[in-house]
Homo-oligomer: A and B are copies of this chain.
Amino acid sequence: MRVLILGGDGYLGWPTAMHLSRLGHDVHLVDNGLRRRAHRENETDSLTPIAESLSARARAWEEVDGRRMGVSMGDLCDHHVVERVLREFEPEVIVHYGEMPSAPYSMASRAHAAFTQYNNVIGTLNVLFAMRDLAPDAHLVKLGTMGEYGTPNIDIEEGFIEVRHKGRSDVLPFPKQPGSFYHASKVHDSVNIALACRIWDLRATDLNQGVVYGIHTEDTKRDERLLTRFDYDEVFGTALNRFCLQAVIGHPLTVYGKGGQTRGYLNIVDTIRCVELAATNPPAAGEYRVFNQFTEQFSVTELAELVARAGREYGLEVVVKGIDDPRVEAQEHYYNATHTKLLDLGLQPHFLSETLVESMFEAIQRYRDRVILDRILPRIRWRPREPLPASP
């Protein structure tokens, strides 16, 4: 298949590209370098020393694997970029990772919130219109997030729920309660994509993904130039990856608030397999479908305890420390989310284990002198501590 990967330079986009290329698909990548730029502005960096550019990555891939990937550097918010690549590459599948993916980033200021929603919503609108006009039969595989659902007091279903009400019933979009302007931007996307499928007969799979962990895939191990990024900072890092790094460098594992926040998690190798499964099993024209893409649920405390146990066995001194929750979120809540559709398509999950955590320790050890210590603790708060006075 001809697979276009938007956001092909990211933590997941790059390993997805290698995976699909190795399977024999014709892969073309688009990226605007936003993630690298945001890291430079924050004075943060990937733990892993990734290749200097997406083109360098593609060249290394060709040397190591023998297969070619096309690369276009450009911004999805510039509709000419999107239209040109759809016209020239004629994709059959469009895997869309090309968004600002950080909740803390979106909460840092008004400008960050507005940029996040502009970037994600307008970029995706440009993709939808370009598909309508230039690739109406292509299949959009869009990365959403489990965070769109929030933490309702009922089981979370995969995108839709049958609601019985006053003697009638209908299958309706599952109600969304996002917890940040980033998560809200993904809800906006979902609404726009569903609409485009309905009115233009486009086909799309929305992958509401849990929190991804892991540092290596089959391909990143083949050559250091093929490493994917690994973020641990307050803006782009996520719970389990950060805990593993904290354990290795002797930093307390920072549990936000009570630690009862429960979410879906999955291994990075399962992410790329899920995207492959979605891509190779397209929906019908006009269908907007949603898969919940994760393999296990954990509370933050459970993750911290698992990492602490594994760390002690590995010979590390690990301390778990509760800190003020910078977010506004339920710290104890019901959480049970359905996630059978990808299993039905053949996903065989790689579950989290102490062995897996220990292998992450090993990989992190190798790059521990690259850690930027003062960028780990959260400084961005959902509720700014000192709001400006009303009448200055």
Interface residues of A, Cβ cutoff 8 Å to B: 79, 87, 90, 110, 113-114, 117-118, 121-122, 125-126, 129, 132-137, 152-155, 157, 161, 163-166, 168-170, 172-181, 184, 187-188, 191-192, 194-195, 198-200, 328, 334, 382-384, 387-388, 390-392
Q: Which chain B residues lie closer than 8 Å to A199 at the CB level?
A: 328, 382-383
Known: A113-B129, A200-B383, A383-B199. A176 touches B173 (CB 8 A): yes
Q: Which chain B residues lie closer than 8 Å to A172 at the CB level?
A: 152, 154, 175, 177
Q: Which chain B residues lie closer than 8 Å to A152 at the CB level?
A: 170, 172
Known: A118-B118, A390-B134. A173 touches B163 (CB 8 A): no
Known: A134-B388, A166-B154, A383-B200. A110 touches B90 (CB 8 A): no
Q: Which chain B residues lie closer than 8 Å to A113 at the CB level?
A: 125, 129
Report whether B175 and A184 are in contact in the complex, using a CB–CB cutoff of 8 Å. Answer: no
CB distance from A186 to the nearest CB of B (A): 10
Number of this chain's copies in the complex: 2
Q: Which chain B residues lie closer than 8 Å to A126 at the CB level?
A: 110, 114
Report whether A388 and B133 are in contact in the complex, using a CB–CB cutoff of 8 Å. Answer: yes
Report whether B184 and A195 are in contact in the complex, using a CB–CB cutoff of 8 Å. Answer: yes
Known: A170-B152, A173-B176, A184-B192. A122 touches B129 (CB 8 A): no
Residue in contact with A163 in the complex, picked from B161, B181, B328, CB distance below 8 Å: B161
Report whether A154 and B173 are in contact in the complex, using a CB–CB cutoff of 8 Å. Answer: no
CA distance A199 to B188 in the complex (A): 19
Known: A154-B166, A154-B168. A122 touches B132 (CB 8 A): no
Residue of B nearest to A152 (CB): B170
Q: Which chain B residues lie closer than 8 Å to A180 at the CB level?
A: 195
CB distance from A386 to the nearest CB of B (A): 10
> Which A-B residue pairs are the 6 nearest by beta carbons?
A172-B175, A153-B170, A110-B129, A199-B328, A154-B165, A133-B388
Residue of B nearest to A196 (CB): B181
Residue in contact with A191 in the complex, picked from B114, B155, B184, B390, CB distance below 8 Å: B184
Residue of B nearest to A195 (CB): B184
Q: Which chain B residues lie closer than 8 Å to A137 at the CB level?
A: 390
Report whether B163 and A155 are in contact in the complex, using a CB–CB cutoff of 8 Å. Answer: no
Given contacts A152-B170, A152-B172, 16 further A-B contacts (CB under 8 A): A90-B390, A110-B126, A117-B125, A154-B166, A154-B170, A154-B172, A161-B163, A163-B163, A164-B164, A173-B176, A178-B195, A181-B192, A188-B191, A198-B328, A199-B383, A200-B383
